[in-house]
Chain A
Amino acid sequence: MLSAESLKRIDREIAKFPAEQKQSAVIAALAIAQDEKGWLATETMDFVAQYLGMAPIAVYEVASFYNMYDLAPVGRHKLTVCTNLPCALSGGVDAAEHLKQCLGVGFNETTADGRVTLKQGECMGACGDAPVLLVNNKRMCGSMSNDKLDKLLAELK
């Protein structure tokens, strides 16, 4: 169900915990599965459950609790913009508005061509670099002026 490469990454996580505590690797395993599949379908979560010896419901609980998992398909790129207060005081909300305009979508929506999903995020622990946004959960971009936002959008195919 998951590639050998993903399984290798999951095994590396499992090795961090006591042998009888494989479940501790579930947060990482779901993140790795999402990296490969783009989002977490029920079959993917079931596979993770089986791989870690967990009840499927326990895996669904985790997947629905943490904000960075996607339980429905998203665009090829997911942009999560922080609009929490410290960022908002330095342009976080403006950045989000600019993206909404350029993309023609609101929060939790995907462009019609399936290119970009826009999300509203909470504090990413990078408020000094506001406005900040996260590309595909991994790449943090700071000081996002409208110019830089335009460049970023041009780069995302």
Chain B
Amino acid sequence: MLDYGPDAILMKGLDGSNWRLKDYEARGGYDALKKILRENIAPEAVIAEVKKSGLRGRGGAGFPAGLKWSFMPKQYAGAKYLVCNTDEGEPGTFKDRDIIRYNPHMLIEGMLIGAYATGAGVGYNYIHGEIWAEYELFERALDEAHAAGYLGKNILGTDFSFELHAFHGYGAYVCGEETGLLESVEGKKGQPRFKPPFPASYGLYGKPTTINNTETFAAVPWIINHGGDAFLALGRPNNGGTKIFSVSGHVNRPGNYEVRLGTPFAKLLEMAGGMRGGKRIKAVIPGGSSAPVIPGEIMMQTDLDFDCVAKAGSMLGSGAVIVMDETTCMVRALERLSYFYFEESCGQCTPCREGTGWMYRVVHRIEHGKGRQEDLDLLSNVADNIAGRTICALGDAAAGPVKSFVKHFREEFQYHIDHKRCMVNVPGGYFTVSNPSAGRAA
């Protein structure tokens, strides 16, 4: 059995091999779709139920799913699309992969219900380039659903039709951004579009499109089966349901844990086996690498829901919790993240294209003992001039770590500049200078 924790509802009863249609049906799968079709529940009523559930987008921004669905035009003559974002590339995030390899039909059923509610006739699931085996498995699940009459024309003998395809990406973080993703499906470079117009009015091929994260769709069958109120009650007001957290870094048992929103971080850390080697917790990035870092002692007092994490100064984001212990050099950690955003900037907006490279070079020189006294102010200045000045949120994502690392760990950066070496001296520690005299200093 795969163990996602006692509160799991989406990832319950899975053993790694029982992903097939018959297994899913044995777990009550496709009952929500059947109920909607049998009882002829109106699309508006489905949307109302999802709104009631307090389900917020699991891809990063936390936008209310039901509200997003209601933006789709109702009277529209042409094609409408439904797109799922399984491009999971936000560093630290590895939950959607588990959904599509261990419970793919839950996603298919969620998308079917989404298509029914929004009037979309065709859908695509955009799968991250690096996970080929999962893409192939998902295609097999689609074949099964087709053969059983859950996908295609006149589903289960009704006049509801929906075609769903898998799309395999090929390595570009920015394609996780919803409009970059749509460009990519159109067969172009994944450069995000200016918004508005939003995808609900101008999406794939210029048609009305709803796009949600894998986990968002995957929660929908449960909501229809048990009611929006029940889902909401699992979490907190405005933060309905459970959420899968991907825990990585310096913990004993990295992995995915599904807990109720509002669960204290300390509890999640305990589920992940606590700190590796019993070390002291230094810092946590609670929502994927784009979320601001938070000092460990603040995080230990924080509950995991969208509002509490925001109050603590960060974002719940994708629910990717990156844990760093006392042996971590924050300068080196930021250097690696800055490199990532520099590498992945799509290049269409000058502040992001130039600014990410600039920030990386400055953090790199501080890390390598060549920092200048004015560098910390320079970093803030560059970050401020990227944030809010780009077409998509990759710019903000790149600026956030820089600002938060420097804000919370300024003395460590200053020490690097003053002493040309690392402040963290834990022998054998990771990301540290184990022998200070032979340090990474220039």
Q: Would you call B246 and A16 a contact (CB within 8 A)? A: no
Does B412 belong to the interface (CB within 8 Å)?
A: no
Complex formed: what's the CA distance from A130 to B250 in Å? 11
Q: Which of B131, B186, B189 is within 8 Å of A24, CB to CB?
A: B186
Does B90 belong to the interface (CB within 8 Å)?
A: yes
**What sequence of 0s and 1s flags, for each residue 26-48 of chain B, a beta carbon within 8 Å of any chain A beta carbon?**
00000000000000000000000
**What sequence of 0s and 1s flags, for each residue 66-95 of chain B, a beta carbon within 8 Å of any chain A beta carbon?**
000000000000010000000011111110
Q: Would you call B90 and A66 a contact (CB within 8 A)? A: no
Does A31 belong to the interface (CB within 8 Å)?
A: yes
Q: Would you call A85 and B187 a contact (CB within 8 A)? A: no
Residues of A with C-beta under 8 A to B190: 65-66
Residues of B with C-beta under 8 A to A153: none
Q: Would you call A62 and B322 a contact (CB within 8 A)? A: no
Q: Which of A69, A84, A86 is within 8 Å of B170, CB to CB?
A: A69
Does B169 belong to the interface (CB within 8 Å)?
A: yes
Residues of A with C-beta under 8 A to B88: 125
Q: Would you call A84 and B91 a contact (CB within 8 A)? A: yes
Q: Would you call B344 and A88 a contact (CB within 8 A)? A: no
Within residues 74 to 119 of chain B, which ones have a CB less than 8 A from any CB in chain A? 79, 88-94, 96-97
Complex formed: what's the CA distance from A65 to B248 in Å? 29
Q: Which of A69, A85, A125 is within 8 Å of B93, CB to CB?
A: A125
A24-B185, A125-B97 known; A86 and B322 CB under 8 Å? Answer: yes
**What sequence of 0s and 1s flags, for each residue 50-74 of chain A, a beta carbon within 8 Å of any chain B beta carbon?**
0010100010011001111100000
Total A-B residue contacts, Cβ distance less than 8 Å:
158
Q: Would you call B91 and A128 a contact (CB within 8 A)? A: no
Q: Would you call B336 and A84 a contact (CB within 8 A)? A: yes
Q: Categorize the interface residue count of chain B.
A: 35 or more
Q: Chain A: which residue is nearest B333 at the CB level?
A: A85
Q: Would you call A85 and B91 a contact (CB within 8 A)? A: yes
Does B415 belong to the interface (CB within 8 Å)?
A: no
Q: Which of B97, B168, B189, B255 is within 8 Å of A61, CB to CB?
A: B189
Q: Would you call A88 and B431 a contact (CB within 8 A)? A: yes
Q: Which of B130, B256, B322 is within 8 Å of A124, CB to CB?
A: B130
Does A27 belong to the interface (CB within 8 Å)?
A: yes
A25-B187, A88-B431, A128-B94 known; A83 and B336 CB under 8 Å? Answer: yes
Does A75 belong to the interface (CB within 8 Å)?
A: no
Q: Would you call A125 and B131 a contact (CB within 8 A)? A: yes
A128-B246, A140-B133 known; A122 and B340 CB under 8 Å? Answer: yes
**What sequence of 0s and 1s flags, for each residue 311-354 of chain B, a beta carbon within 8 Å of any chain A beta carbon?**
00000000010111000100001001100100110100000000
Q: Would you call B289 and A27 a contact (CB within 8 A)? A: no
Q: Which of B130, B184, B322 is within 8 Å of A125, CB to CB?
A: B130
Residues of B with C-beta under 8 A to A65: 172, 189-190, 346
Residues of A with C-beta under 8 A to B185: 24
Within residues 85 to 101 of chain A, which ones have a CB less than 8 A from any CB in chain B? 85-91
Q: Which of A30, A83, A89 is within 8 Å of B328, CB to CB?
A: A89
**What sequence of 0s and 1s flags, for each residue 222-264 of chain B, a beta carbon within 8 Å of any chain A beta carbon?**
0000000000000000000000001111100011100000000
Residues of B with C-beta under 8 A to A134: 130
**5 pairs of A and B residues whose beta carbons are closest in the complex:** A67-B171, A23-B187, A68-B171, A124-B130, A86-B248
Q: List 7 A-B contacts (CB under 8 A).
A: A16-B165, A18-B205, A66-B169, A66-B170, A89-B248, A127-B320, A139-B132
Q: Which positions in B face A, CB cutoff 8 Å?
A: 79, 88-94, 96-97, 124, 128-133, 165, 167-173, 184-190, 205, 246-250, 254-256, 289, 320, 322-324, 328, 333, 336-337, 340, 343-344, 346, 430-431
Extra inter-chain contacts (10) besides given A84-B337, A90-B249, A127-B320, CB under 8 Å: A21-B186, A27-B167, A31-B168, A66-B172, A86-B249, A87-B248, A89-B324, A89-B431, A91-B430, A138-B132
